[in-house]
Amino acid sequence: MTPDISLPRLMESLRSLGQVGALDGGGVCRLALTDADKAGRDWLVARMEGLGLTVHIDAIGNIWGIRAGHSDTAPVMMGSHIDTVATGGLYDGALGVLAGLEVIATLNAAGVETDLPLAVAAFTNEEGARFAPDMMGSGVHQGALDLSEMLATRATGGTAVVGEELARIGYAGTAVPFTPAAYLELHIEQGPVLEVEGLRIGAVTSVQGIHWTEVTVTGQTNHAGTTPMALRRDAGQVGFAIARAADAIAARLGPPQVATVGVFELSPGLVNVVPGTARLTVDMRNTDGDVLDAATEELLAEAQALAQAAGCTIDIRPLARFAPVVFDAGLVDKVARAAEARQLPTRRMPSGAGHDAQMFAPNCPTAMIFIPSAGGLSHNINEHSDEDDIGAGAQVLCDVVCDLAGAQI
Amino acid sequence: MTPDISLPRLMESLRSLGQVGALDGGGVCRLALTDADKAGRDWLVARMEGLGLTVHIDAIGNIWGIRAGHSDTAPVMMGSHIDTVATGGLYDGALGVLAGLEVIATLNAAGVETDLPLAVAAFTNEEGARFAPDMMGSGVHQGALDLSEMLATRATGGTAVVGEELARIGYAGTAVPFTPAAYLELHIEQGPVLEVEGLRIGAVTSVQGIHWTEVTVTGQTNHAGTTPMALRRDAGQVGFAIARAADAIAARLGPPQVATVGVFELSPGLVNVVPGTARLTVDMRNTDGDVLDAATEELLAEAQALAQAAGCTIDIRPLARFAPVVFDAGLVDKVARAAEARQLPTRRMPSGAGHDAQMFAPNCPTAMIFIPSAGGLSHNINEHSDEDDIGAGAQVLCDVVCDLAGAQI
């Protein structure tokens, strides 16, 4: 049996980092490469050094600490991120990094050595809230994103540049990225499934494919009182119908298909003016890439038809097209069995959100461990996970890592 | 036969006032009680005096000029407004006032006297674009709005106060309002009906009743990727469905019922977040007050049901409830017959927009004359009416006024 992690020590660690960039009323703001992010990084590096890890920083600012193993091979890596959205919670990202540190602390305290080295990593700008795209650090680390291009990225709605900000906060390093022996990420679910089903551990099988599409409908601005219905070219009503169609497609296809219209803007946006323009976004996701492609295709055809029938024109702009990512079946199995061995009710499930883990999946055995999010809330200062679930997730992480790294128990 | 108006003189007048507050690229901005409005008022007063009219200004800043008749009774009044929206056209409002001046100029030039006096009026803040409510000056003039309350009105999204602005621009007068013998208003249609039907004069029978309702739907903000459709409380989709329902109700009831969703806002308004709040406005209009009441009632019941079915709550706020106004049948008939006598294709039609005339309708014989708006455009710098139609409208106004006032031809 692997040693037991210390929940009080892990909670202290989460609360301590949670004070860096803390918001009045709860939650944290550690937008990537801001002063608050730098403070969080400094905190993390100090903790890593305190645990005896050798700290490395690469050119995109990823931080990882290595605990040596008996063999001088690629390490088993635990990782996630410590940047947050503007109104983030304490656990999104931070849990995966700090649970990694807790595994190290547990092995240190128990005097357990491993055949393979262990690594704990925090990747730069996972959220994408300040600089797009998201998963920037892990993407560069695993070769999916181009370093020079990412360093030149300008802040969304701002003037800051990634490379300059990295230099400014002192996190433009020179360490060379590598492919780990395996990658494991503990994360809050950020959705309601585990809580609703009364489960405590999710063995994540895959990350859903994601299609983001922006649809702009152009009709004719007209007076709401003087323009008969039959003479209108109402861009708003076409937009509303497209939004309803997205919902209907997801309902018809059934789980795991989801569709969300999160942005909807009318112009000129006045009570008594028939809208001349509607702009909306549709976020569609599915673990099956073919079904997702067909769903998006169906929606866009229907959008075209709706616009044409109303005398409007339509402009369709794909904002994102990510194919689904499938995690390593053997490693997912290890996660599920480790949870069962600890008597933790578990299920296999896809991830609806993107995570750093997906950047590793093409290159090495990769899996994720989910714990419940209260009410499914995330990217919200009221984001919460129960301490018992936090402890359970960290324990499963520890158990699987000990297995993978050949812990000398 | 009444004398012919001079189209060149009327067009010169429209273009001259159109230079006051002119915008680059066309159109004008003479928001009520601004310096541009003052300049327009000064221009108007000078023109009135040039035509020999006695100018009066009342406490809410309405301006009217009187041409004496043989009898010392209430005058036949022609009127409209010279304030505009922020990006207004040259004809909305100004046409009615300047055509009134053109009638005076025509009678002066032809040496035609009338039994009843004539009045030409420009009412303060018809648009309501800077200070709500709209039709403020005519409402006070005819006793539908309270003077003290209107003088205390603060600018929408600003600090200016009506009474202070009137004093500042020198248009806080002391003239006493009165009920005219009859009220006639020439106005652009601001809708497409006359143009589409190939007609040149609309004999306006009524002003539609107007119901404005704000609907706020509250659901639950959730992650778009991690929240299955069945576990969502998507305020956006409820809002979209309500917007579609408004459209369907208008389609089913048929003309003259119209319904417009001109404002639609989602919160937080992010691509990958299920909206927690949707706010929309519904503008419903009908000339039949009972049908309009039933339409609004049906929509709100459906909105409630849609919200409940989706686990959302709903807040309904009536922003405006104006009953329809019916114009004087005899006067409408005079307008139609005057158009026919001039071989101008005409129809009787309701007004979809509100106008100063509706404030007079309860108190004296009132009617309106519409001319076509190119493309139905209004409240737009590209607002346009053909010169021939402008001349036709002014001629019909002149003919009806001569009839009503007992012109000595």
The per-residue DSSP string of A212-238 comes to EEEEEEE---EETTTS-GGG---HHHH
Mean pLDDT of chain A: 96
CATH topology (fold) of B209-322: Alpha-Beta Plaits (3.30.70)
Looking at CA atoms only, how far is residue B146 from chain A in angstroms? 25
Lowest mean pLDDT across A100-104, A120-124, A173-177, B381-385: B381-385
- ipTM, 2 decimals? 0.79
The angle at the Cα of B20, spanning B18 to B26, to the nearest 5 degrees, equals 50
* Structure confidence at residue A132 (pLDDT): 84
> Which of B226, B256, B262 is nearest residue A273 as measured by Cβ atoms?
B262
Architecture of domain B7-207+325-405: 3-Layer(aba) Sandwich (3.40)
Say what the pLDDT of residue A369 is.
98
Give the DSSP H or E segment for B96: helix B94-110
Element (H, E) at B106: helix B94-110
- In the numeric block, which tokens belong to residue B213? 């309702």
A40/A19 Cα distance (integer angstroms): 9
User: Quick one: CA dihedral B174, B178, B180, B186, positive or negative?
Assistant: positive
What's the pLDDT score for residue A135? 95
- Per-residue pLDDT reduced to its tens digit, A189-240: 998 999 999 999 999 999 999 999 999 999 998 889 889 999 999 999 999 9
Closest partner residue to A225 among B192, B222, B285, by Cβ? Answer: B285
Distance from CA of A217 to the nearest CA of B (A): 14
Query: How many Cα atoms occupy the beta-carbon half-sphere of B372 within 13 Å?
Result: 20
Q: How far apart are CA B13 and CA B43, in angstroms?
A: 10
Q: Is B236 helix (H, G, I), strand (E, B) or coil?
A: helix
**Percent of chain A at pLDDT above 70?**
100
pLDDT at residue number B321: 85
| Cβ contact, residue pair B231, A196, below 8 Å | yes
Quick check: A198 and A293 in contact, CB under 8 A?
no
Interface test with A, best of B126, B212, B266, B272 (most A CBs within 10 A): B272
- Residues A122-140: what's their mean pLDDT? 94
Distance CA A302, CA B408 (A): 66
Closest chain B residue by Cα to residue A231: B192
Identity of the residue numbered B61 = G
What chain A residue is nearest to B238 in terms of C-alpha separation?
A: A244
* Cis ω before A133 (30° cut-off from 0): yes
Tokens representing B36 are: 């541009």
In this complex, which of B191, B226, B230 lies closest to A227 when CB atoms are compared? B191
Q: Do B283 and A272 touch (CB under 8 A)?
A: yes
Q: How far is B189 from chain A (nearest CA, A)?
A: 8
Interface contact B273-A379, CB threshold 8 A? yes
Rounded to the nearest angstrom, the minimum Cα separation between B283 and chain A is 6
Task: Give the per-residue pLDDT at A157.
Answer: 76
Tell me which chain A residues have a C-beta less than 8 angstroms from the C-beta of B279: none
Residues of chain B with pLDDT under 50: none
Please determine, looking at this structure, whether the domain spanning A7-207+324-405 carries the CATH number 1.10.340.30: no
How far does Cα A105 stand from its chain's mean position?
Answer: 26
Give the 3-state DSSP-derived string for B268-298, with helices as H, strands as E and coil as C. Answer: CCCCCEECCEEEEEEEEEECCHHHHHHHHHH
Whether residues B230 and A258 touch (CB distance < 8 A) is answered with no
Cβ distance of A228 and B255 shorter than 8 Å:
yes
User: Which helix (H) or strand (E) element contains residue B161?
Assistant: none
- d(CA A396, CA A307) in angstroms, rounded, equals 52
Output the six-digit token pair for A380: 């919200």
Least confident of A109-113, A247-251, A365-369, B226-230: B226-230
How many angstroms separate the CA atoms of B141 and A191, rounded?
Answer: 60
Q: Which chain B residues are Cβ-neighbours of A257 within 8 angstroms? A: 229
Q: State whether A251 and B261 contact (CB < 8 Å).
A: no
Nearest-CA distance from A259 to chain B in Å?
A: 7
- Give the closest-approach CA distance of B274 to chain A in angstroms: 6
Of A208, A351, A380, the CB nearest to B221: A380
- The torsion region of residue A343 among left (phi > 0), alpha (psi -120 to 50) and beta comes to left
Specify the DSSP class assigned to residue A124: T
How far CA A99 is from CA of A5, A17, A42, A94, A110, in Å, comes to: 9, 12, 18, 8, 16
Most A CBs within 10 A among B85, B229, B274, hence the mutation to make, goes to: B229
Q: How many CB atoms lie within 10 A of CB A133?
A: 14
pLDDT value, residue A137: 98
The span from the CA of B309 to the CA of B296, in Å, is: 20
**Any idea which residue has 């519409």 for tokens?**
B370
Task: Provide the pLDDT confidence category of residue A25 given band limits of 50, 70 and 90.
Answer: confident
Out of B224, B285, B319, closest to residue A260 by CB: B224
Question: Contact, A15 vs A394, CB < 8 A?
Answer: no
Q: Is the pLDDT of residue A367 over 90?
A: yes
A320, two tokens: 């994102």
- Distance between CA atoms of A128 and A409, rounded to whole angstroms? 40
Q: Where are the domains of chain B?
A: 7-207+325-405, 209-322
Nearest neighbour of B224 by CB, restricted to A230, A234, A258? A258
Are the C-beta atoms of A184 and A368 separated by less than 8 Å?
yes
Q: Given the structure tokens 């089913």, which residue do they identify?
A: B252
Q: Which of B210, B268, B376 lies at the smallest CB-CB distance from A222?
A: B376
CB A95 within 8 A of CB A198: no
**Which residues, including other chains, have CB under 8 Å from residue B321's CB and lie 6 or more apart?**
B210, B211, B212
Are the C-beta atoms of residues B73 and B117 closer than 8 Å to each other?
A: yes
Amino acid at B128: G
Instruction: Return the number of other C-beta atoms located less than 10 Å from residue B233's C-beta.
Output: 21
**Cα radius of gyration (chain A):** 23
Q: Which of B166, B53, B38 is nearest to B120 (CA)?
A: B53
pLDDT digits (tens, 9 = 90+) for A335-362: 999 999 999 999 999 998 899 999 999 9
- Chain A: give the shortest CA distance to residue B56, in Å: 33
- Look up tokens 């994540």; give the residue: A204
Nearest CA in chain A to B239: A240
C-alpha A71/C-alpha B358 separation (Å) is 91
Q: What is the largest CA-CA distance in chain A?
A: 82
B297: exposed, middle or buried (Cβ count in 10 Å: 0-12, 13-18, 19+): exposed
Which amino acid appears at position A219 of this protein? G
- Residue A46 has a CB neighbour count (10 Å cut-off) of 11
Q: Is the dihedral of CA B104, B109, B114, B117 positive or negative?
A: positive
Half-sphere exposure (CA, 13 Å, Cβ side) for A85? 14
Contact check, Cβ <8 Å, A228/B193:
yes
Residues 6+ apart with CB under 8 A from B12: none
Q: Are B39 and B47 in contact (CB under 8 A)?
A: no
CA atoms within 13 A on the CB side of B358: 23
Question: Which two structure tokens, joined as six digits, stand for A48?
Answer: 């890593």
Q: What token pair was written down for B131?
A: 């200070």
Give me the residue from A241, A261, A273 closest to B244, CB to CB. Answer: A241
Q: Which residue has the tokens 């090495």?
A: A364
Q: For an interface test with A, which of B221, B233, B240 has the most A Cβ atoms less than 10 Å from its Cβ? A: B240
Residue A157: other Cβ atoms inside 10 A: 6
CB B139 within 8 A of CB B60: no
Nearest-by-CA chain B residue for A207: B225
Average pLDDT over residues A154-177: 95
Q: Measured between beta carbons, which residues in chain B are less than 8 angstroms from residue A208?
A: 225
| Percent composition of chain B: helix, strand, coil (DSSP 3-state, to 5) | 35, 25, 40
The C-alpha of A315 sits at a distance from chain B's nearest C-alpha, in angstroms, of 17
Longest dimension (CA), chain B: 82
pTM (2 d.p.):
0.79
**Cα torsion angle, A236, A237, A241, A247, sign:** positive
Tell me the per-residue pLDDT of A291-340, one tens digit each, with 9 for 90 and over.
Answer: 999 999 999 999 999 999 999 999 999 888 888 999 999 999 999 999 99
What are the CA-CA distances from residue A287 to residues A202, A297, A322, B230, B272 (Å)? 16, 16, 11, 17, 16
- Kind and range of the H or E element at A318? strand A313-322
Whether B237 and A227 lie within 8 Å, measured CB to CB = no
Residue A346 CA to residue B266 CA, distance in Å, equals 36
Contacts of A231 in chain B (CB under 8 A): 192-193, 196, 376
Say how many C-beta atoms besides its own lie within 10 A of residue A8's C-beta: 9
CB atoms within 10 A of CB B149: 10
Number of A to B CB contacts under 8 A, please give it: 223
Look at B260 and A192 and tell me if their CB atoms are within 8 Å.
no
Residues in chain B: 409
Find the residue in B nearest to A375 (Cα). B222
**Strand duo B366-371 + B182-188: pairing:** parallel
pLDDT at res. B328? 98
Contacts of A283 in chain B (CB under 8 A): 224-225, 271-272
